[in-house]
């Protein structure tokens, strides 16, 4: 393979517990000789993407997720809220071990690779004064429910008077995983100045477009970008909700299961989108990996995709890009800004 074909950027969507399929896809990429340079991800994609750019080997990722108790991991914040009640805390202590704290777990894995802040994930071959969208190896997508807009971290930290280089990667990843009613939202910013946000799961609406990391300087890409989409599960027997709580749960389930249904809009997008069929698995099926081999689903799909992949064909379909479709301005009247993508040659 050429030097370009040994590198790639990734765009990863959400998927809850189905995100284990991302680990399988990363393993297939590693075995094929690819090094992941940059990742744009939301929710489960932010988690696996952060570990990938931090340098965690795919085999270690498989072990980490094999050992993870998804039920305790997913319900850690719920249990924490229950334990605020002293009597409930005593009851829970009889039936549960020490809580699995998602933030602590993510932090420990990243610190094991020497990664704490976004300053540790700088792209090495761009100038310090390059646009912020070019400077970091990871960008995660969150929803700011306080200001009702999409937030991309670390790109948008300056909106909240925060220095991107000093912000913890684990906190951003944890914010992007904050499924309502399961995980507590994450607050960032300065309460005194009003430049603050309340962040929830970035996979609740359509995630990053596959071209979000494309370069826009009119030159050909140095390596490919692959988008990994986990296909959702259609409802087997739809039933109308019988309460406000049931309706709320149905809304969250619908958002989670349809968040990654971005349809490729060009021959280029079609060529670089890897679809993993997980239509039998729900986003919050906490025992799904015991019933289905999610890892193998991701691994086999990516392996088959790479077997038919040609960088020369990729260049013919994904030549110089003129702009990205990701909007910077989310509010009415805000301009659409072109985002510099893949770092320029140095």
Cα 26 to Cα 22: distance, rounded to the nearest angstrom: 6
Q: In a structure prediction context, what are the per-residue pLDDT tens digits for the chain, which is 346 residues long? A: 444 458 999 999 887 777 889 999 999 999 999 999 999 999 889 999 999 999 999 889 888 877 776 555 554 444 444 444 454 444 444 444 445 678 888 999 999 999 999 999 999 888 888 899 999 999 999 999 999 999 999 999 999 999 999 999 999 999 998 877 777 889 999 877 779 999 988 877 666 888 999 987 888 999 999 999 887 655 566 778 888 877 877 776 666 666 555 555 688 888 899 998 877 665 555 454 444 588 999 999 999 999 999 999 999 988 774 334 443 333 333 333 334 456 555 4
Cα 24 to Cα 28: distance, rounded to the nearest angstrom: 6
Phi, psi of 42 (to 5 degrees): -130, 140
Angle at 233 between CA 230 and CA 234, to 5 degrees: 140
Angle at 148 between CA 143 and CA 151, to 5 degrees: 40
Instruction: Output the six-digit token pair for 244.
Output: 């406000």
Selection from 133, 335, 153 nearest residue 216 by Cα: 133
Tell whether pTM > 0.85. no
Residue 69 contacts by C-beta under 8 Å, 6 or more apart in sequence? 100
């Amino acid at each position: 393979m050429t030097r370009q074909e040994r590198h790639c950027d990734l765009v990863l969507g959400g998927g809850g517990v189905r995100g284990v399929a991302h680990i399988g896809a990363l393993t297939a990429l590693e075995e094929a000789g690819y090094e992941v340079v940059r990742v744009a991800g939301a929710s489960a994609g932010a988690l696996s993407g952060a570990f990938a750019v931090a340098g965690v080997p795919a085999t270690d990722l498989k072990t980490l997720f094999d050992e993870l108790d998804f039920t305790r991991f997913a319900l850690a914040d719920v249990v924490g809220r229950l334990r605020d009640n002293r009597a409930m805390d005593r009851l829970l202590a009889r039936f549960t071990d020490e809580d699995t704290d998602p933030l602590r777990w993510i932090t420990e894995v990243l610190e094991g690779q020497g990664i704490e802040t976004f300053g540790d994930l700088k792209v090495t071959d761009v100038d310090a004064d390059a646009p912020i969208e070019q400077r970091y190896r990871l960008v995660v997508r969150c929803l700011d429910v306080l200001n009702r807009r999409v937030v991309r971290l670390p790109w948008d930290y300056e909106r909240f008077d925060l220095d991107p280089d000093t912000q913890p990667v684990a906190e951003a990843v944890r914010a992007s995983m904050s499924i309502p009613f399961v995980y507590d939202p994450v607050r960032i910013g300065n309460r005194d100045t009003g430049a603050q946000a309340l962040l929830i799961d970035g996979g609740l609406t359509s995630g990053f477009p596959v071209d979000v990391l494309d370069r826009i300087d009119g030159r050909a890409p140095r390596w490919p970008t692959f988008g990994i989409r986990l296909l959702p599960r259609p409802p087997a027997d739809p039933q109308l909700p019988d309460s406000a709580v049931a309706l709320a749960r149905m809304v969250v389930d619908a958002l989670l299961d349809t968040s990654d249904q971005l349809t490729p809009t060009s021959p280029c997008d079609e060529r670089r989108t890897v679809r993993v069929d997980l239509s039998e698995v729900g986003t919050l099926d906490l025992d799904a990996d015991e019933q289905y081999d999610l890892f193998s689903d991701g691994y086999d799909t990516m392996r088959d995709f790479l077997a038919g992949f040609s960088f020369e064909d990729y260049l013919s379909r994904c030549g110089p890009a003129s702009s990205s479709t990701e909007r910077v301005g989310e509010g009415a009247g805000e301009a659409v800004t072109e985002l510099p993508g893949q770092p320029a040659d140095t």
